Structure 1
Amino acid sequence: MSSGRNTATRDRHRRYVARGKPPCGLCGSEIDYTLPHLDPGEFVVDHITPLALGGEDTLDNKQAAHRRCNEIKGARATEDVGPIQAPRLFVTARRW
């Protein structure tokens, strides 16, 4: 079953949202746009009103978010979620 989303549109919207390197729309903290895929602090695009709740897959319904913040929000509208704390970033490598 297809979700009806267009991957070319998705990628274009992702580039547009990331262009200004905005902070997370859910916790308000800065996003490290260089983090690798699946890192809790990486940049993802969040639907302000989720598609599951009738939101549209349009640019004006999207915002930058940390992966972890977006996971906490789930399929709830942004205004229905209380304050979210920024993901904790841990040092995994040191340079001496």
Structure 2
Amino acid sequence: MSTNRNTTIRDRHRRIIARNKPPCAWAHCLYPGIPIDYDAGPDDPLSYVVDHRIPLNKGGSDTLDNKDPFHRACNRAKSDHLPDEEPPGGIRIHVTKRTW
């Protein structure tokens, strides 16, 4: 099942969440005590991303109150699991390189 996402709303939510530079919201953060780097590029594992607290494929909404800040690496490891849930088989780290 695919969910249509509005990029204008996505970008607005990212700006709102980033205002106070909050810490990573994942209970199993890979970098506890290390702040999210809000200025880092997209390949940096400490860079800022926003993820859904309750994944869309588990019935979550694409609203601001269902979004949290994460380190990029934590978001990749969390995948589509709930924030306080450790993924089955332990934490997996995915590293990808993209050229835009």
Coarse TM-score class (shorter-chain normalised) = 0.7 to 0.9
> Counterparts of 2:65 and 2:3 in 1: how far apart (Å)?
19
* CA distance 1:2–1:73, shift in 2 (3 Å): closer
Indicate yes or no: 2:75 matched with 1:70.
Answer: yes
User: What is the number of residues matched between the two proteins?
Assistant: 83
Shift of 1:24: 0.5
Fraction of identical pairs, as percent: 52
1:60 to 58, 62, 65: 65
1:36 to 23, 41, 61: 41
* CA deviation map 1:14-54 (0-9, x unaligned): 00010100000012531111111121110000111011111
> Whose Rg is larger?
1
> Counterparts of 1:5 and 1:71 in 2: how far apart (Å)?
19
* CA distance 1:78–1:2, shift in 2 (3 Å): closer
Q: Which runs of 5+ in 1 are unaligned?
A: 85-96
Q: Which runs of 5+ in 2 are unaligned?
A: 92-100
- Per the normalisation by structure 1, the TM-score is 0.78
Q: Could you tell me whether the CA contact under 8 Å between 2:3 and 2:56 is conserved in 1?
A: no
> Counterparts of 1:2 and 1:61 in 2: how far apart (Å)?
17
| 2:94 alignment counterpart | none
Runs of 4+ in 1 over 4 A off after TM superposition: none
